[in-house]
Amino acid sequence: MCRGLESLPITCLERAKELKARLGSFLLKQELPNKADKLRTEDALEWTSSLQTLLLHKDGLRAFRAFLVSEYSEENVAFYLACEDYKKTKTSSKLCSKARKIYEEFIGNDAPREVNLDHETKTITKKNVEEPTPSCFELAQSKIYALMEKDCYPRFLRSTLYLDLNRELTP
């Protein structure tokens, strides 16, 4: 069983929040793909097929993250990716520490990169983290994925960032 989330020193949470506020998007800034990265027009066009396709493509993910940084919502994709990494964890001791870290960073009260989840999902996730399993973030991750798919992803495809990238790649 994991040590209780309530035992976290407030100073760590406050410090993380302060750092985020002071450094802003400089911490999160991602380089955009460019021609030197050998990104092909076909690759960028594939990103329109689904959010999953976009997230699985290295340059697509970089472009999407850059877009989310510009919209101050990069925490959504960061949470999604943290959950994907978490699911690959093999040992129970690592599950416990990773689960706590993800919860503290993205879900808990005063989380420095808090994602937009309803109260019920937060409650269920908090309970799951107390006895972590590889699937303890499934509900929260699916809600954030759905939010990105419905809101952020369509805006990304209409964004000047994506449209300019396509123009730059088109011969």
pTM of the model: 0.77
Displacement of CA 100 from its chain's centroid (Å): 16
Residue 63 binned pLDDT confidence (cut-offs 50, 70, 90) = very high
Could you tell me if 94 and 86 are in contact, meaning their C-beta atoms sit under 8 angstroms apart? Answer: no
Asked if pLDDT for residue 19 goes beyond 70, the answer is no
- Structural domain count of the chain: 1
Residue 6: which residues within 8 A CB-CB, separation 6 or more? Answer: none
Q: What is the reported pLDDT for 44?
A: 87
The whole domain housing 69 covers: 5-169
CB atoms within 10 A of CB 75: 22
> Domain with 53 in it: what CATH number?
1.10.167.10
Q: Per-residue pLDDT tens for 103-133? A: 999 999 899 999 999 999 999 999 999 999 9
